[in-house]
Structure 1
Amino acid sequence: MEFGSMSNIKLVVIPILTILFIILGIRKREKILEKIGWKKDIFIMAVKGILISLGTSLVFLALLSPQKLKEEENIKVQGSDLYVLMDISKSMLAEDTYPNRLETSKAELRGILDNLKGDRVGIIPFSDSAYIQMPLTDDYFMAKNYIDAIDSKLISGGGTELLEGLKLANKSFEKTDAKDKNVIIFSDGGEKNQEVLNYVKDNKIKTFIFGVGTDEGSVIPIDNGFIKDDKGNVVVSKLNDSFLKELAKESGGAYYQLDNLNNNNYKKLIQDIGKLDKTSQREEKLNIYEKYYQYPLGLGLIFILIGYFLRRREKEGEYV
């Protein structure tokens, strides 16, 4: 026997608080009855408390989803290999999307992971340079932990070296013998780079790009104020999407706007990814479990109801 939802262990606070409230309630009631000179039925009070406490504990046990392994089955999984290139340059801290462009991108990426099935994902943050933060994997839970760790301080500098990220992704694809090379990019844009265009064409990399930010733009906050130019003027960073759109088109991919009004475009991406050839094929072991949560859940509810409707009556000078 094992538990399938150990993430609910934090809910253990519920039966603990329930027991504490029952104990406090009983003591408070005893004091009130003593003051008015009434006697109480200790046995009924104890049974009522035990039933509700036990019932609550059983419901908590059900939330942990007790289960037993029934059988194992080998299944074939097909999917696409996808590398996510996340721009973490200083301009991604601009707050024209809430709370800023980088956090908006991370939230959108979580939405993508929630809707992928069988696809392997890798993460490459880039700025003045790039590195593989997470290699290709279909462990989306682990991927979300990596996403939480992404910030603008992972790489020093404030530039945008997209080409370096593309080269890292391409090398990884070649090691896996991937037939298709698909890259998802989150960036607020930059000047046209012919070298980048040539690289994706020569290496047949398909780019799906999220342009993050707005045309109006925003200042870029830093610890001691805002980023300024050489003349001392505060820099306003605006979305520069012309090159991003060209890159997506020339590579055979797609472009998506990502701002406060358009923050669910990952759904369009999922549709586009669904049309890709599923070149990543592997066998995985599927464990089939028999669930037993319904037994402690049903018994727990019965105990709670009995305890709740169990009534006691206290009268002056007598037990009932």
Structure 2
Amino acid sequence: MEFGNTSNLKLILIPLLIATLLVLGVRKRQIILKSIQWRTDTLHSSLSAFFIILGTFSVFIALLSPQKLKEEEAIKVQGSDVYILMDISKSMLAEDAYPNRLEISKRELKDILTNLKGDRIGIIPFSDSAYVQMPLTDDYFMAINYIDAIDSKLISGGGTKLLEALKLANTSFEKTAAKDKNVIIFSDGGEKEPEVSQFVKTNKIKTFIFGVGTGEGSVIRIDKGFVKDNDGNIVVSKLNDKFLKDLARESGGNYYSLNNLSNRNYKKLINDIGKLDKTSEREEKRKVYEKYYQYPLALGLLFILIGYFLPKRKLEEEYV
């Protein structure tokens, strides 16, 4: 026997709180009645509290979803192979998207992962250079842990070299003999790189691009100050969406806005990814469980009703 929903363990605080309040309530009632010399039915109060506490703990067990492994079955899973290229240059710290461009990108990426099914994804952070942080996998839980670790300090330098990330993704695709090459890019565009468009066309890479930020732009906070140019002027970083839109269109992919005013465009991306050819096929073992949550749930509700409607003797009407 095991629990299928251990994320609800934090709810243990609820039955503990109820138990504490009931015990304190019973004691306080007894003290008050004794102070005015009224007799109390201690047994009834204790039994009532006991059944209600037992009921709430039983409901808590039901919320953990007790289950038992019934069998394992082999299933075929089809999906696409997708590398995620995450811009971590200094400009991604601009705050024209809350709390900044990098953090809103990470949040959107997590939403994407929680809605993917069967696709394998890899992660490549890039700035002045790029590296494979996570190779292709369908372990989305592990991927989310990697996303949490992404920050602008992973790579020294503050530039935006998208070409380096695309080259690395292309090499990684070739090592896995992938039939199709699909990448999701989170970036503010940086400076236009003329070679990027040609590289994408030559290697048949389809790009789905999130343009992060706004055309008005924002200053870039670092440590206790702001990023400045060579003349000492504070830099205002603006979204270069024309470059990103052109790249997405020329590669056969799509472009999505990502800022405080844009809608949840990850849903549009999920729809676009779903239309890709499912060239990655593998066999997985799926565990089939027998669920038993209904038994502690029924017992819990029964115990709570017993505790609530437990009949009591009218002893409070008599003086000691």
Using structure 1 for the length normalisation, give the TM-score: 0.95
Cross-structure match for 2:215: 215
The answer for the alignment partner of 2:107 in structure 1 is 107
Aligned match of 1:227: 227
Q: CA deviation at 1:76?
A: 0.3
Q: Which residue of 2 aligns with 1:315?
A: 316
User: In structure 2, the residue corresponding to 1:231 is in which secondary structure?
Assistant: coil
Paired residue type of 1:3:
F
Structure 1 residue aligned with 2:265? 265
RMSD: 1.5
Match runs of 1:166-315 below 5 Å: 166-310=166-310, 312=312, 313-315=314-316
- Following the alignment from structure 2 to structure 1, what is the Cα–Cα distance between the partners of residues 213 and 311? 62
Instruction: Measure, in 2, the Cα distance between the counterparts of 1:66 and 1:47.
Output: 27
| Alignment-mate amino acid for residue 156 of structure 2 | S
Q: State the Cα deviation string for residues 12-67 of structure 1 (Å, max 9, x = none).
A: 22222221111111111121112111121111111111101110111110011011
String of CA shifts for 1:188-242, please: whole Å, max 9, x gaps: 0122212222222222111111111101111111112211222222111110112
- Tell me the SS of whatever aligns to 1:115: coil
Deviations 1:242-280 (A, max 9, x none): 211121122111111111121411111111111110000
Q: Give SS of 1:209's match.
A: strand
SS in 1 for 2:114: helix
Separation of aligned partners in 2, 1:273 and 1:5: 29
Give distance in 2, aligned partners of 1:228 and 1:308. 69
Cα deviation code 1:152-193 (max 9, x no counterpart): 122222111212211221222112211001000000012221
* Cα displacement string for residues 125-150 of structure 1 (whole angstroms, at most 9, x for unaligned residues): 11111111111111112211221221
Matched, 1:135 2:125: no
Decide whether the 8 Å contact of 2:37 with 2:319 is kept in 1: no
Aligned to 2:61: 61
Amino acid corresponding to residue 130 of structure 1 in structure 2? A
Query: What letter is aligned with 1:296?
Result: P
The answer for the alignment partner of 2:148 in structure 1 is 148
Q: State the distance in 2 between where 1:203 and 1:305 align.
A: 68
Aligned residues of 1:79 and 1:280 also touching (Cα < 8 A): yes
Residues 128 and 157, structure 1, Cα contact 8 Å, conserved in 2: yes
Given that 2:51 and 2:306 are in contact with CA atoms closer than 8 Å, whether structure 1 keeps it comes out as yes
Shift of 1:309: 2.6
Amino acid at match of 1:29: R
Q: Percent identity?
A: 73
The one-letter amino acid paired with 1:97 is A
Report how far residue 6 of structure 1 moved. 1.2
4+ residue runs over 3 A deviation: 311-314, 316-319
Q: What is the match of residue 9 of structure 2?
A: 9
> Which structure 1 segments of 5+ residues have no match?
none
Whether the aligned pair in 2 keeps the contact of 1:65 and 1:291 (CA below 8 Å) is: yes
Q: Partners of 1:275 and 1:91 in 2: how far apart?
A: 32
Between 190-199 and 68-77, report the one with greater CA deviation: 190-199
Aligned residue-pair number: 319
Match of 1:165 in 2: 165
- 8 Å Cα contact 1:52-1:307 kept in structure 2: yes
Return the alpha-carbon distance in structure 1 between the equivalents of residues 298 and 243 of structure 2: 60
